[in-house]
A and B are shown apart, each in its own frame.
Chain A
Amino acid sequence: MPTETDAATDLALEMTGVGMRFGEEWVLRNVDLAVRQGSIHAIVGHNGAGKSTLMKIALGALAPTEGSVRVRGEPLTFSEPAEARRLGVGMVLQERSLISTLSGLDNVFLNAERVARTGLVRRGEEATEARQLCEQLGIPTSLLSRRVSDMSQLDQELLEIAKAFRIARNVLILDEPTAPLTAREIETLFGVIRTTARLGVGIVLITHHLAEVFTISDEVTTLREGIITLRSKTADTDMSNVIDAMLGQRFIRLEHRIADEEAATSLPSTRGEPPILEVDDLHIPGKFDNGLSFSLYPGEILGVAGLAGSGRTTLLRTLYGDVRPSAGSIRLMGKPYAPKSPRDAIDRSIFLIPEDRGVHGLVLTAALVENTILPILQRISHLGVVQIGRGRALTGHLMSMLGIRSRGPSQVVGQLSGGNQQKVVLAKALASEANLLLLDEPTFGVDIGAAADLIAHVRRSVEAGRAALWATSDLRELLEVSDRVMILNGGAIQRTITRLEPDFNEAAVIRAMQRGHFHPTTLSEARS
């Protein structure tokens, strides 16, 4: 860490008293953030804690309602979009910004080409500059001549850093850079991040992996509901403190809304009924190479937790017939189940709510009613003719139940807001009346009221003898809906916690989700 000579210029990024209000709601309140030159500053917090809003402000993309931002002492005026860029602030997004068909070099200079007076690109000049850039950062220069589509995830991430660093000489923000990487790749990436910091850049690292915070960061800031709850040198705090700061009062176990006294004190999995779903030693290449076994019982909602890349989505898609397992067996209602396509899954009364509604969930160009009846076309047909009147009535019923705001069943889904679109996905799932629901981030972007309605509905249908597998990164929701929570980590079930266990809480789930095992010894090693 650089010596603290001049506090004012020593700071790469200084955000003072930043507040941000959308309508009536403050999403950030009085946030102070000081990122030193040459240091790595971790920002942690749950989804919705305000991290992305804060970063958008730092990038000059959003003007804060109050407060000020300085980059190396120079104030950001939010007068023009490229201002922060000019001041040397850049960000590597979680989603790749690379063009996969172009070379590394072309990507580094994309839309910033060195153009000669003749109108031609100065390739030589670009190549020299890019090579120097890579050498500075400790990135292999061979990346420049290779095509992005031929690169590993790590190489792509490194290229993203090189591309961003060309602009971001003062502040570089990295959003979940390790998500798609293996443990070994992460080490390499961290090496490059440290090198970048040593060049004097202030690094902001957004991550959900607390282990990474304690491995690489110099300082850590915790955000909860728009407020800073912890600001510390990483060496002066520990994992428990950070988890406390992330969760606040939410530590208290959430009340289960199960009226029945007996149901509240017993678990569906221990009532002696035969399971609906039995997964035995399931191998899924690249995600679960060591086999996965679990059962799901009538009346049960099994929560699936795990960080990005833990295989939650892959597991659900395998059960839905979209991904083929390499070994192992599945039994459904006691009978062998080996789906070859989602059609097979739907025929066996399984339905999936996929996580990316625009890609797998909805036909955005079609009407609400068209989307809702798509999985049940055969069921609502009579003599080979689709009873669109029935479909419309059913859609209307589901729309009012889920509170879908639209001009009616004939409105095109793509015209709805994101939250309302997600509700249409939910309507499809409810219309399918499946015995086994697979839900992948079902409440993403949905308001609290609708989420509660969905939970209540699934709970009710499950109590009638069905079952659900509920994957979500919202731990509060996970603990609220689940009878048991299965935590995926490192290609295996790290732990299963039932709601009757004393540590059925967010802290226990977070611990089990973190990469590797967290014993006090590894922690102190990581910190030293």
Chain B
Amino acid sequence: MGGSVMDGESPLATEDAARSIGQRAVDGVRDALWRSYTGENSGALILVMLVVIAFFAVNLRDTTYLSTTNFLSIIQQTSAITVMAVPTVFVISCGEIDLSIAAVVPVAAFIAALIVPNQGWLVAALAAIGFGALVGLINGVVAVRFRIPSFVVTLGTLSVLNGMSLWITNVLSVSVSDQTFLSIFGEGSVGPVPVLVIWSFGTVLVGYIILAWTPTGRAVLATGANPNAARFSGIRTDRIKIGALIASGIAGAVAGMLYVGQYGAASYTLGTSDLLTVIASVIIGGTALAGGRGSIVGALVGSLLIGTLNNGLVIIGLANPQQLMARGVIIIAAVLFSSRTRTSRKRGPRPA
């Protein structure tokens, strides 16, 4: 039935007619600016990253550090993290968390690696993705329907998945020789652009569009900021949460295949240290742990920042223990810096 009873009073109708073309152009520019603002403090973060790069560049000026090859390799090394960070922004923004995301990685990798020889890369990939989606669905439905915090539910699935990955092949790794599979998920390139770079930026682009431009993105942020108000505004908050967790499971599976593509084999060690890296990337990127605020571009920058750090610290010759310590300090410093710029921007006179 809609608003058919009365159309004349519609503020939407009158407002549209009143807008001139010039006004629309102004609106367009403002929208673009505003949307990049929705991307929160990625500007500050990019600054942090440039500082880090400059630091390494000065100290490593005699090495290959400042080469396109090195930077492309950083993007490729972080591709799995970036792919997982994007849906994690959605999950955290809508007020949930998925601790099982990195635990999907080895299981999905095994599924793909075991299916590839007989069924081909497509069936293998679909099976792995289907498995990731199933894990996400279970996480989401249990959390939403039974009102169990997703922290607890996914802590449970995390453990189950860890068990599965050890059990499937009894700790043996499974190598993959299917060239199509390896090329799509690891070694290939489109023209000069490596596929891993495409996977990274493709995921980021899709995530960015959904979060910043579509009704779903708004619904995700509203759900995380105030689930009650979101529900009373007609948002199906349960579906939003389940959807985000399914996307998260799928991303875990894709990340698993990206590792197989890079290493040529599935192993239970894949993704073991990724969970905290993914969450760190997302939080560094300006996504609020409490929900309601998320940034996809920020998550990409966060992921690349951690990748750059690892890369630079390795080239600089720090041993693993020092690397870990330096990384931790720099992560905290990055969040501190970006959150300070955010609060100072929001400060301003309040109307009575």
| Interface set of A (CB-CB < 8 Å, partner B) | 298, 320, 322, 333, 341-343, 345-349, 352, 354, 359-366, 370, 373-375, 377-381, 384-386, 388-390, 392-394, 397-398, 401, 405-407, 410, 412, 415-417, 420, 428, 430-431, 433-435, 460-461, 464-466
Question: Of the candidates B12, B35, B222, which one forms a contact with A394 in the assembled complex, judged by CB atoms under 8 Å apart?
Answer: B12
A475 CB to nearest B CB, Å: 26
Docked complex Cα distance between A379 and B28 (Å): 19
Please, which residues of chain A bring their CB within 8 A of the CB of B19? 393
Please, which residues of chain B bring their CB within 8 A of the CB of A394? 11-12, 15
Please, which residues of chain A bring their CB within 8 A of the CB of B58? none
Please, which residues of chain A bring their CB within 8 A of the CB of B1? 333, 348-349, 435
Whether B6 and A466, one on each chain, are in contact in the complex, defined by CB atoms closer than 8 angstroms, is yes
Instruction: List the 3 closest pairs (A to B, CB-CB), nearest first.
Output: A389-B27, A377-B215, A346-B234
Docked complex Cα distance between A515 and B111 (Å): 68
Whether A349 and B3, one on each chain, are in contact in the complex, defined by CB atoms closer than 8 angstroms, is yes
Whether B6 and A461, one on each chain, are in contact in the complex, defined by CB atoms closer than 8 angstroms, is yes
The residue on B at minimum CB distance from A374 is B233
Docked complex Cα distance between A392 and B232 (Å): 21
Docked complex Cα distance between A394 and B77 (Å): 46
Task: Give the contacts of B216-250 with A (CB-CB under 8 A).
Answer: 217-219, 221-222, 225-226, 228-236
Whether B9 and A370, one on each chain, are in contact in the complex, defined by CB atoms closer than 8 angstroms, is no
The winner among A341, A348, A361, A365 for most chain B CB atoms within 10 A is A365
Whether B218 and A377, one on each chain, are in contact in the complex, defined by CB atoms closer than 8 angstroms, is yes
Question: Of the candidates A361, A390, A428, A466, which one forms a contact with B12 in the assembled complex, judged by CB atoms under 8 Å apart?
Answer: A390
Whether B350 and A415, one on each chain, are in contact in the complex, defined by CB atoms closer than 8 angstroms, is yes
Question: Of the candidates B34, B219, B231, which one forms a contact with A377 in the assembled complex, judged by CB atoms under 8 Å apart?
Answer: B219
Whether B5 and A363, one on each chain, are in contact in the complex, defined by CB atoms closer than 8 angstroms, is no
Tell me whether B352 is interfacial, beta carbon within 8 Å. Answer: yes
The residue on A at minimum CB distance from B350 is A415
Whether B229 and A365, one on each chain, are in contact in the complex, defined by CB atoms closer than 8 angstroms, is no
Tell me whether B30 is interfacial, beta carbon within 8 Å. Answer: yes
Question: Of the candidates A322, A366, A389, A412, which one forms a contact with B221 in the assembled complex, judged by CB atoms under 8 Å apart?
Answer: A366
Whether A466 and B230, one on each chain, are in contact in the complex, defined by CB atoms closer than 8 angstroms, is no
Whether A342 and B231, one on each chain, are in contact in the complex, defined by CB atoms closer than 8 angstroms, is yes
Question: Of the candidates B5, B27, B229, B234, which one forms a contact with A466 in the assembled complex, judged by CB atoms under 8 Å apart?
Answer: B5
Whether B214 and A349, one on each chain, are in contact in the complex, defined by CB atoms closer than 8 angstroms, is no
Whether B226 and A435, one on each chain, are in contact in the complex, defined by CB atoms closer than 8 angstroms, is no
**Subset of 28 A-B contacts with CB under 8 Å:** A341-B231, A343-B234, A346-B233, A346-B234, A348-B1, A360-B229, A364-B225, A366-B222, A370-B221, A374-B218, A374-B233, A374-B234, A381-B215, A384-B213, A385-B214, A386-B214, A386-B217, A389-B30, A390-B15, A392-B30, A393-B16, A394-B15, A397-B11, A407-B351, A433-B3, A435-B3, A460-B9, A466-B5
Whether B9 and A393, one on each chain, are in contact in the complex, defined by CB atoms closer than 8 angstroms, is no
Whether A465 and B226, one on each chain, are in contact in the complex, defined by CB atoms closer than 8 angstroms, is no
B214 CB to nearest A CB, Å: 6
Whether A388 and B232, one on each chain, are in contact in the complex, defined by CB atoms closer than 8 angstroms, is no
Please, which residues of chain A bring their CB within 8 A of the CB of B87? none
Question: Of the candidates B5, B34, B230, which one forms a contact with A388 in the assembled complex, judged by CB atoms under 8 Å apart?
Answer: B34
Docked complex Cα distance between A475 and B350 (Å): 33
Whether A363 and B34, one on each chain, are in contact in the complex, defined by CB atoms closer than 8 angstroms, is no
A448 CB to nearest B CB, Å: 17
B63 CB to nearest A CB, Å: 45
Please, which residues of chain A bring their CB within 8 A of the CB of B9? 460-461, 464
Please, which residues of chain A bring their CB within 8 A of the CB of B215? 377-378, 381, 384, 386
Docked complex Cα distance between A366 and B230 (Å): 12
Question: Of the candidates A347, A363, A389, A393, which one forms a contact with B230 in the assembled complex, judged by CB atoms under 8 Å apart?
Answer: A363
Whether B15 and A342, one on each chain, are in contact in the complex, defined by CB atoms closer than 8 angstroms, is no
Tell me whether B31 is interfacial, beta carbon within 8 Å. Answer: yes
Whether A374 and B235, one on each chain, are in contact in the complex, defined by CB atoms closer than 8 angstroms, is yes
Please, which residues of chain B bring their CB within 8 A of the CB of A320? 232
The residue on B at minimum CB distance from A401 is B11
Please, which residues of chain B bring their CB within 8 A of the CB of A389? 24, 27-28, 30-31
The winner among B231, B232, B348, B350 for most chain A CB atoms within 10 A is B232
| A341-B231, A392-B27 given; A435·B5 CB < 8 A | yes
A467 CB to nearest B CB, Å: 10
Please, which residues of chain A bring their CB within 8 A of the CB of B234? 342-343, 345-347, 374-375
Whether B293 and A360, one on each chain, are in contact in the complex, defined by CB atoms closer than 8 angstroms, is no
Docked complex Cα distance between A509 and B30 (Å): 52
- Tell me the interface secondary structure of chain B in the complex: helix
| A342-B233, A374-B218, A392-B27 given; A366·B292 CB < 8 A | yes
A348 CB to nearest B CB, Å: 7
Whether B351 and A406, one on each chain, are in contact in the complex, defined by CB atoms closer than 8 angstroms, is yes
B19 CB to nearest A CB, Å: 6
A346 CB to nearest B CB, Å: 4
Tell me whether B10 is interfacial, beta carbon within 8 Å. Answer: yes
Whether B222 and A374, one on each chain, are in contact in the complex, defined by CB atoms closer than 8 angstroms, is yes
Please, which residues of chain A bring their CB within 8 A of the CB of B22? none
Whether A360 and B228, one on each chain, are in contact in the complex, defined by CB atoms closer than 8 angstroms, is yes
Tell me whether B346 is interfacial, beta carbon within 8 Å. Answer: yes
Docked complex Cα distance between A364 and B234 (Å): 17
| A341-B236, A377-B219, A378-B215 given; A393·B27 CB < 8 A | yes
Please, which residues of chain B bring their CB within 8 A of the CB of A428? 233
The residue on B at minimum CB distance from A317 is B232
Tell me whether B2 is interfacial, beta carbon within 8 Å. Answer: yes
Whether A374 and B230, one on each chain, are in contact in the complex, defined by CB atoms closer than 8 angstroms, is yes
Please, which residues of chain A bring their CB within 8 A of the CB of B219? 377
Task: Give the contacts of B161-212 with A (CB-CB under 8 A).
Answer: none
| A362-B226, A363-B229, A415-B350 given; A465·B218 CB < 8 A | no
Whether B11 and A410, one on each chain, are in contact in the complex, defined by CB atoms closer than 8 angstroms, is no
Please, which residues of chain B bring their CB within 8 A of the CB of A466? 5-6
Whether A430 and B11, one on each chain, are in contact in the complex, defined by CB atoms closer than 8 angstroms, is yes
Docked complex Cα distance between A342 and B347 (Å): 35
Whether A349 and B2, one on each chain, are in contact in the complex, defined by CB atoms closer than 8 angstroms, is yes
Whether A417 and B28, one on each chain, are in contact in the complex, defined by CB atoms closer than 8 angstroms, is no
A431 CB to nearest B CB, Å: 7
Please, which residues of chain B bring their CB within 8 A of the CB of A406? 351
Please, which residues of chain A bring their CB within 8 A of the CB of B235? 343, 374
Docked complex Cα distance between A415 and B221 (Å): 18
The residue on B at minimum CB distance from A356 is B228
The residue on A at minimum CB distance from B215 is A377
Whether B214 and A384, one on each chain, are in contact in the complex, defined by CB atoms closer than 8 angstroms, is yes
Whether A398 and B3, one on each chain, are in contact in the complex, defined by CB atoms closer than 8 angstroms, is no
Question: Of the candidates A354, A370, A430, which one forms a contact with B222 in the assembled complex, judged by CB atoms under 8 Å apart?
Answer: A370
| A322-B232, A377-B215, A381-B214 given; A365·B293 CB < 8 A | yes
Docked complex Cα distance between A385 and B213 (Å): 5
The winner among A388, A407, A466 for most chain B CB atoms within 10 A is A388
Please, which residues of chain A bring their CB within 8 A of the CB of B350? 415
Residue-wise, chain B 245-276 has the 8 Å CB interface mask toward A (1 for contact) of: 00000000000000000000000000000000
Docked complex Cα distance between A361 and B12 (Å): 22
Please, which residues of chain A bring their CB within 8 A of the CB of B213? 384-386
Whether A365 and B6, one on each chain, are in contact in the complex, defined by CB atoms closer than 8 angstroms, is no
Please, which residues of chain B bring their CB within 8 A of the CB of A386? 213-215, 217-218
Docked complex Cα distance between A420 and B352 (Å): 9
Whether A465 and B351, one on each chain, are in contact in the complex, defined by CB atoms closer than 8 angstroms, is no
Whether A405 and B352, one on each chain, are in contact in the complex, defined by CB atoms closer than 8 angstroms, is yes
Task: Give the contacts of B287-323 with A (CB-CB under 8 A).
Answer: 292-293
